Structure 1
Amino acid sequence: MNDYAIEVRGLTKRYGQRTAVEELSFVVPRGSIVGLLGPNGAGKSTTLRAIVGLLRPSSGDSLIDGVPFSALDNPASHVGVHMDGFGFEAGISARRHLEICRLAAGAPRSRVDEVLEEVGLAADARRRVKTFSTGMAQRLGLATALVGSPRTLVLDEPANGLDPDGIRWLRRFLRAFAERGGTVLLSSHQLAELEQVVDEVVVIKQRALFAGRLGDLVTSDADSLEGKYFDLVGGASA
């Protein structure tokens, strides 16, 4: 097993005449939290979807634990995914939703209660999903990603809809997950919050503008991730 949980290699995706990402390459080291940043339309969601096998690239590839997603044995034990478009059946309870996911992942029955506790939804397990706030739905999405006990999480805007307490909780949760040896790749527009939790950043605008350690981008107390981000994307051609 190599040092990278995720490898993206020369990834290109075209939709007709439009190029979503072009020759994009970066790695996600094991045990790290990596932020994927870029303006709207930069290709972040396309990249995440390619990594987890939801779309086929025009060229290039991506690997999870050294192999394409399609070649993973029991994918849910390797990578947990939560992103926009992964909806819930509104009429069922959170527990029932997770039970369905647990069966699909081949996880033990006890895992449902464990992940409900992990994300702070144990008291709401029997509530119908349609009654959930946006922040509660985000927590349920994270629980869904965790149900297979994966080593890696791929999360698209996981802090959307969370209140300040929820954002602080998410930051602590992700850091604890990484400290236990897990790996996280997440996209976010909340740059100030992201700066407090990531080890590395990948800034893209169809291509990679920067990929490396946060400390190599934000090099002094006078710098900020937000400032460096706008320096990069503001000066890049679309």
Structure 2
Amino acid sequence: MHNHAIEVRRLTKRYGDRVAVDELSFSVPHGSIVGLLGPNGAGKSTTLRALVGLVKPTSGGAFVDGVPFSRLENPASHVGVHMDGFGFEGGITAARHLEITRLAAGAPRGRVAEVLEEVGLAADARRRVKTFSTGMTQRLGLAAALIGSPRTLILDEPANGLDPDGIRWLRRYLRGYAQRGGTVLIASHQLAELEQVVDEVVVIKRRALFAGRLGDLVTDDADSLESKYFDLVEGASA
């Protein structure tokens, strides 16, 4: 087993003259919840997409369990992904969506019922996805990420559209997942919320401004993740 569930090593991605990420390096230890933070355009989505094989690095690399995503055997058992742009077919039911996901992941037949239960959507399994609230859609996205029983989750703004009850549920869910040995990389703008769940943070603005334990960044009670975040981001050269 590799020391880290996720490693980003000197990742650079250019689109023509624009540099989306520049020599970015950080790692995510097994069993931890790590927050990936940065302003819009800082390269968070590019980094996540490079990790799951949707973006080819210009140089450097992004690794899950020690290898690039494209070289993972049965990737759904290594990493579950919930990102914007992973759309749902509105006309099908939640159960049908997950059945398609299950077949693609090669997961056992009973897995659909299990993940629906896990994310609190069992009662809504037969509803069409287009009738779902934003929060229910987020839960369905998480269920799809979990279908292959992965050891690592990569989540992009998973709390978007959740009400306070849903946010509390997500926080407890992720904490339990990590306590069972799972690893979570979570990109979010919700700093106050993130502060309650992450072990480590990576603050990026095309490159890493800080990568380490939350307690090493927010060192006293008068401070918050939000204040430290703005110190870093506003102090960084454009």
Show CA shifts across 1:45-85 (max 9, x none): 00000001011011000110011101100000000000010
Structure 1 residue ranges, 4+ long, deviating more than 2 angstroms after superposition: none
**TM-score by structure 2 length?**
0.99
1:183 CA displacement: 0.1
**TM-score by structure 1 length?**
0.99
1:19, 1:226 → 2: CA distance? Answer: 26
| Percent identity between the two aligned chains | 84
Show CA shifts across 1:10-34 (max 9, x none): 0000111111000000000000000
1:191, 1:66 → 2: CA distance? Answer: 29
For 1:178-197, what aligned pairs fall within 5 Å after superposition? 178-197=178-197
1:207, 1:58 → 2: CA distance? Answer: 14
1:148 CA displacement: 0.3
Report the counterpart of residue 38 of structure 1 in structure 2. 38
The answer to whether 1:127 aligns with 2:127 is yes
Report the counterpart of residue 172 of structure 1 in structure 2. 172
Report the counterpart of residue 226 of structure 1 in structure 2. 226
For 1:52-201, what aligned pairs fall within 5 Å after superposition? 52-201=52-201
Q: Which amino acid aligns with 2:22?
A: E
1:125 CA displacement: 0.4
1:232, 1:130 → 2: CA distance? Answer: 40
The answer to whether 1:216 aligns with 2:216 is yes
Aligned length: 238
Report the counterpart of residue 6 of structure 1 in structure 2. 6
Give 5+ residue unaligned stretches, structure 2: none
1:168, 1:234 → 2: CA distance? Answer: 30
Q: What secondary structure, in the 3-state scheme, does the structure 2 residue paired with 1:139 have?
A: helix
Show CA shifts across 1:181-226 (max 9, x none): 0000010000000000000000000000000000000011111100
2:119, 2:161 → 1: CA distance? Answer: 15
1:196, 1:54 → 2: CA distance? Answer: 30
Q: Which amino acid aligns with 2:124?
A: D
Q: What secondary structure, in the 3-state scheme, does the structure 1 residue paired with 2:139 have?
A: helix
Report the counterpart of residue 21 of structure 1 in structure 2. 21
Q: What secondary structure, in the 3-state scheme, does the structure 2 residue paired with 1:41 have?
A: coil
1:114, 1:67 → 2: CA distance? Answer: 29
1:2 CA displacement: 2.0
Q: What secondary structure, in the 3-state scheme, does the structure 2 residue paired with 1:104 have?
A: helix
Show CA shifts across 1:91-137 (max 9, x none): 00000000000011111111000000000100000000001111100
1:237 CA displacement: 1.2
2:47, 2:78 → 1: CA distance? Answer: 18
Q: Which amino acid aligns with 2:186?
A: L
Give 5+ residue unaligned stretches, structure 1: none
Q: What secondary structure, in the 3-state scheme, does the structure 1 residue paired with 2:127 have?
A: coil
